[in-house]
Amino acid sequence: MDVSTRKLNFIQDLLSVSDEKIIGKLESLLKKEKQKEVQQPSVYDLLGVLTKEEGEEMEKTIKSCCENIHEEDWK
């Protein structure tokens, strides 16, 4: 069964529900899932935000600060 058919079946089932608690739970679940989608940014959201020069500068900064091993920190 494809997703569109499943959605239509779900809508038909939902139309027959009259219990406010069940409707509230379903509504709450859908709202939570919608919020999860919005709250999970992707690295691809940053495409086009930085110029090439800014990206290179960031890369240099990361390499100079984050790729150093300090032997004393491991004792």
Q: What is the pLDDT of residue 8?
A: 95
Domain boundaries, the chain: 3-39, 43-70
What type of residue sits at position 7?
K
Task: Write the CB contacts of 1 (distance below 8 Å, at least 6 apart in sequence).
Answer: 9
Whether 64 has a pLDDT exceeding 90, the answer reads no
Q: What is the pLDDT of residue 60?
A: 87
DSSP state of 47: T
Q: How many angstroms separate the CA atoms of 61 and 64, rounded?
A: 5
pLDDT, tens digit, 9 for 90 and up, residues 19-60: 999 999 999 999 988 877 666 667 677 777 888 888 888 888
